[in-house]
Chain A
Amino acid sequence: MRSLFEGVPARAAWGLVCVIVLLYLAPLVFGGYVLSVLILCCYLAVLGQAWNVMMGFAGQLSLGHALYIGLGAYASGALFFHFGLGPWIGLIPAFIVAGAMGALIGWLGFRFGIRGVYFALLTIAFAEFVRILFDHWGWIGGSSGMFLLVQNRNIDMDAASIANAFWTLRGPNWVFYYVILTGMVACLVTVRLLMRTRVGYYWLAIREDQEAAQAMGINVLRYKLLAVVISAMMTAFGGVFYAFYNNTLYPESIFSIDRSIELLLGVIIGGIGTLFGPILGAFALTWLGEGLSITQEWFDIAGLKLLTYGVAMLAIILFRPAGLWPWLRRLLGMEERRPDA
């Protein structure tokens, strides 16, 4: 607990606790549409947090994170589809497969000195490669997709049914909401704690200057690999959630580069290399997107959404290049005493 809030001004700590409590109370007030948007927000926040570990903290650009979503989704989805095993058991192979894939890509890239944009291209190439592989893999349904059985959307409100709904991730939306919200908080806490350890500081050193990091005794390859593996695993958690929430998996959609881009836009908007940037960005971008979709339908202006999206991105990059969170944090007087994470 101490290292969780160390250096955080009391006002920021209370603000955070309040926001989290409010988010946990949200299903009591909202249902249906609002709840489904909140689910999307939290889901993107998890993915953004994961991507940010690699890019924001360890300084390694990945444009192929959809790969780990897909691997997580298919690993757990296939276990459920073929053997009836639930998401929490599916999480284990999801972690292993995504972590191993991250390690492989990282090793290939870092071992052979592929850096920056070229490394990013490698990550795209792998996502595409796996997509094509899955398109032709009959056991998981190939390009015609895999469908998970949806049952009992409505559950009895007794403890056993509720526990069962959480365990099997089959149930009403509020069950999914609590799972992904808790996942979001867990990711936040995990990353926060990691950034206070040797690993976190080594990542920052590598991000800032690899040669300097190496001269200070840091095994750059090892710590970069660790960043990719942890990031891949966190992303795979998002993938497992995706599988059980959406129930339909197509390689073409799940491994697409659009998905890889979508998850990092929020981080850029919110603030790369900050803890709350990914969360703020995911919420801001998702609600903006929803608002625009509705407006677009009302006024029947095709392309309004994409256009505004583009303008918003441009405005952020031009006027708040560090993202919204560093600016908001200063505005609210919530800056940490140590300006690191």
Chain B
Amino acid sequence: MLEVRGLHKSFRGLVAVNELSFAVAKGSIGALIGPNGAGKTTVFNLITGALRPDRGQVLLDGKDITGRRPDQACRDGIGRTFQVAKPLNDLTVEENVMIGALRAARGVAEARVEARRVLDLLAFGREATKPAHELTLPDRKRLEVAKALATKPRILLLDEVMAGLRPTETDQMVEVFRRLNQETGLTILLIEHVMRAVMALSGHVTVINYGSLIAEGPPDQVVRDQAVLDCYLGQEAD
């Protein structure tokens, strides 16, 4: 469904993503992992058009979408969350999600209904009518997911949405994604440091370090890979 080929991006000499290629199959849940600063978020920015790659291609259903604007990527069916949440602070949670829902809805009324549905799905209760700036960090992460989901994506890119959640909250979130994936066939690519979530959700893991692919495969196999162990151990030693 989603494929990147030879993706390359450097920031003033620093190579953030290095000739990277990988794919996410339709209907699957893929994970993109790697130590801090490995270039994961940059990969998302390249896929969604927030950044332009120096070289390489992004393909969605075989169609080249490299260099399209982020709003076009969204309309093509790519939903994303931001690692540092970007709530629309002065608006209510419901309005935040409703604006996302306007992407696929015919009008405000329809978007409002869709927003309610997404908010229920993510178990937002009374917080729904609060201004977004009053939310706690975990709730802001949930709002990030809700905004992206409301745009009715075919593939959802999640950037560390479980970071900072308590284990029970993580499990709830994992359950939501699993259900979405099974019931609606939503394809997901997630960046995650919480290995518990990665192991529970994804069938295919891509590991990068210094922007380069170092391993990929099923999660249980990847976590035993020597190169992967080395790069994570290397970081712990820092």
Contact = CB atoms under 8 A, between A and B. Distances in A.
Contacts of B86: 209, 211-212, 215
Contacts of B99: 201-202, 204-205, 213, 216, 218
Given A198-B107, A202-B102, A208-B89, A216 B151 contact: yes
A138 to B, nearest CB: 45
B2 to A, nearest CB: 16
B50 A201 contact: no
B97 to A, nearest CB: 10
A204 B88 contact: yes
A217 B154 CA distance: 13
A216 B74 contact: yes
Contact of A214 (B71, B91, B102, B108): B71
A197 B111 CA distance: 11
B147 interface: yes
A208 B79 CA distance: 19
B90 A217 contact: no
B40 interface: no
B127 to A, nearest CB: 14
Given A217-B74, A218-B71, A212 B87 contact: yes
Contacts of A202: 99, 102
A211 B70 contact: yes
Contacts of B74: 214-217
B161 to A, nearest CB: 14
B141 to A, nearest CB: 14
Nearest to B98: A201
Nearest to B101: A216
A214 B95 contact: no
B53 to A, nearest CB: 18
Contact of B88 (A212, A214, A219): A212
A217 B75 contact: yes
B219 to A, nearest CB: 28
B82 A211 contact: yes
Nearest to B79: A215
A196 interface: yes
B126 to A, nearest CB: 15
Is chain B's interface secondary structure helix, strand, loop, or mixed overall? mixed
B103 interface: yes
A215 B220 CA distance: 33
A216 B99 CA distance: 8
A209 B71 contact: no
A198 B102 contact: yes
B153 to A, nearest CB: 10
A338 B131 CA distance: 10
Q: How large is the interface on A (under 10, 10 to 19, 20 to 34, 35 or more residues)?
A: 20 to 34
Contacts of B207: none
A339 interface: yes
A340 interface: yes
Contact of A196 (B48, B79, B108): B108
A220 B88 CA distance: 15
Contact of A340 (B70, B91, B107, B147): B91
Contact of B102 (A201, A209, A215, A340): A201
Contacts of B107: 197-198
B148 interface: yes
A162 to B, nearest CB: 41
Interface string A48-65: 000000000000000000
A88 B98 CA distance: 39
Interface in A306-341: 338-340
Given A198-B108, A209-B88, A212-B86, A217 B103 contact: yes
A238 B107 CA distance: 32
Contacts of A220: 71
B100 interface: yes
Contacts of B148: 215-216
Interface string B75-86: 100011010001
10 contacts: A204-B88, A207-B90, A213-B99, A215-B48, A215-B74, A215-B148, A216-B99, A217-B151, A218-B71, A219-B69
Interface of A: 196-198, 201-202, 204-205, 207-209, 211-220, 273, 338-340
Given A198-B108, A216-B103, A338-B95, 20 more contacts: A201-B99, A201-B108, A209-B88, A211-B50, A211-B70, A213-B99, A214-B50, A214-B70, A215-B50, A215-B70, A215-B71, A215-B79, A216-B150, A217-B103, A218-B71, A218-B99, A219-B69, A220-B71, A340-B91, A340-B92
Interface of B: 48, 50, 69-71, 74-75, 79-80, 82, 86-92, 95, 98-100, 102-103, 107-108, 131, 147-148, 150-151
Top 8 nearest A-B pairs by Cβ distance?
A217-B74, A208-B88, A212-B86, A217-B103, A214-B70, A216-B100, A209-B86, A214-B71
